[in-house]
Structure 1
């Protein structure tokens, strides 16, 4: 049993460094990204066809009219001018969508996983010292 515990110590030490060294900077980067991200608002808008593509126009919260052509091709003029719900970026109104925005948290998830591995390995190392 003592032989297996001797091997476990260096493994936990390596896993502590593998977890903390990239994990903490990734958490800091995720925090910075979250702070710099602009909010998205919703507004009632209208859709229209222009040049074979679907266009959307709406009035933003600063009472400025916005018009954007989407990357969605209009189907042979079959776009009915009608009301739609537009989701747009407050800092960059040309970034808009007809679906709610989805913020990917890949950096945050990876940072939490690696930091968790580092914390568990550190605790395991302390437990190993007490045995």
Structure 2
């Protein structure tokens, strides 16, 4: 005696196949979202580095640019948080807050948080390598 009639077994198999296919697609979509977000960290780090070079050269702050950088880093932080890339997300959030109010965090905190652009770019590159292997 069959536990499941042929049609029910066939339906169950079809459902399981569709579920696995959808799971694979979701994982692949999440992987692609992660790649885009990590690449965005690298471009944000470079955009920030250009502004910092401008600051060094001219000595004049540009609040419009700092507003842009604050929002850029904050949004990246939220995106990475949603993807479960928490270590980098936290650094992005700190960077966003720092650009919105440079006096918010103490120099000691910023040093411990290690939000240097090089560190953030290296971390993003390392995660990209892991995703692509």
TM-score by length of 1: 0.36
Larger-gyration structure (1/2): 1
TM-score by length of 2: 0.35
Higher strand residue share: 1
- Asked which structure has the greater RCO (Cα within 8 Å, sep 6+), the reply is 1
